[in-house]
Amino acid sequence: MKRVLAILLAFQTMLSAGVLELDIITYDQFVSRDEEALKQLKSALLEKGIVGIKGIPGYREKVNAYIEAAGHFFQLPEEVKEKYAPNREAGDLFLGYEKGKEKFKRADGEWVVDDLKVSYYAFVPDNESNKWPTEVELKTAYEELGMLMSDTAVQVMQQIDLIGPSTLDGIPRVGRMLYYRKSVEGRSDNPLWCGAHFDHGLFTALIPAVYFEEGKQVDEPADAGLFVKPTNGTEFEKVVANDPDVMLFQVGEFGQLVTNDAIKATEHRVQRPLAGSIERYCMALFFDVSMDMVVDSTSTLTNDSRYKAGGCSYQHWSNESFKRYIVAED
């Protein structure tokens, strides 16, 4: 009975969530260094934790090609996709296909596996460590979209003084092709496609999600999608991001650490709809710093058990974050 009540409360909370007014500036405003637009971009990231840039040349075409390629891959038989799963015994930790490997804590304190979330990881730009399927053409669309997201996000980070001109030199971005399985297939006690969490890295770029039902593209359900907890708020709010011309940006926890809370990490989750057999596709690009980078921060995140007092390396922060959220192998 206690679990049933917790689930009902979770669904009630989801339905009563507010809507976040997403700040969007145009690409032309951004590249021309429009003073008011840049002020809006910075304040949105500082106060809400998310912002959008609209009209990036070539972006919509690359998103469309990526969604098509992602669909081809994720509709392959499971035994084929599993060929591209990481060999963790050989030290391959994450590149390639991954299904149901993360866990997140619900509001009632119980840890639940994200059993509906499926991923395909690859470095951007491409390198010899990446795995690419031979059954479908995935590499071109994945890498072309990833590089455009990378180039744009680097400019954004420089504008908000998160990085210097050479901070990320030689460090690949981590791309995550995301597929959220049909919303009717998962555990009935988990109302989420992805539990509430912070990205542990420096910064994240992502595309607006695309939804399908019975093979046909549909609008985002009103009760589903990306929800964030504004950095100046206390409750999760729905991000209405249904314009395929917009690229989105969020802040990671290490970004908060290196700026001593001048910019805050974005807590977010992805809710699945209460009705319908809906599938969701997305792409996220994560930005890391050098594993050897050490921060001695005054951020409130220094109270987190992952932080190593006296100087915390990104390697340590990253490793401890994976231990917290990755489901242990049997």
- The reply to whether 62 falls in a domain is yes
Q: Are strands 117-124 and 173-180 parallel, antiparallel or unpaired?
A: antiparallel
* Nearest residue to 25 via CA among 14, 10, 12, 35: 35
- The reply to whether 290 falls in a domain is yes
Share of the chain above pLDDT 90, in %: 73
Band of residue 306 on the pLDDT scale cut at 50, 70, 90: very high
Partners of residue 279 on adjacent β-strands: 212
- The reply to whether 330 falls in a domain is no
pLDDT at 271 over 60: yes
Q: Locate the DSSP E strands across 15-57.
A: 18-20, 24-26, 50-54
Tally of domains in the chain: 1
pLDDT of residue 114: 83
pLDDT of residue 12: 47
- The reply to whether 233 falls in a domain is yes
Q: 3-state DSSP call for residue 121? A: strand
- The reply to whether 117 falls in a domain is yes
- The reply to whether 262 falls in a domain is yes
pLDDT tens digits along 69-94: 999 999 999 999 999 998 877 667 78
Q: 3-state DSSP call for residue 25? A: strand
Tokens linked to 208: 């607006």
Q: Locate the DSSP E strands across 166-277.
A: 173-180, 192-198, 203-206, 210-213, 216-218, 225-229, 237-239, 246-251, 267-271
- The reply to whether 36 falls in a domain is yes
- The reply to whether 48 falls in a domain is yes
Domain that holds residue 130: 2-325
CATH number at residue 303: 2.60.120.330
pLDDT at 314 over 80: yes
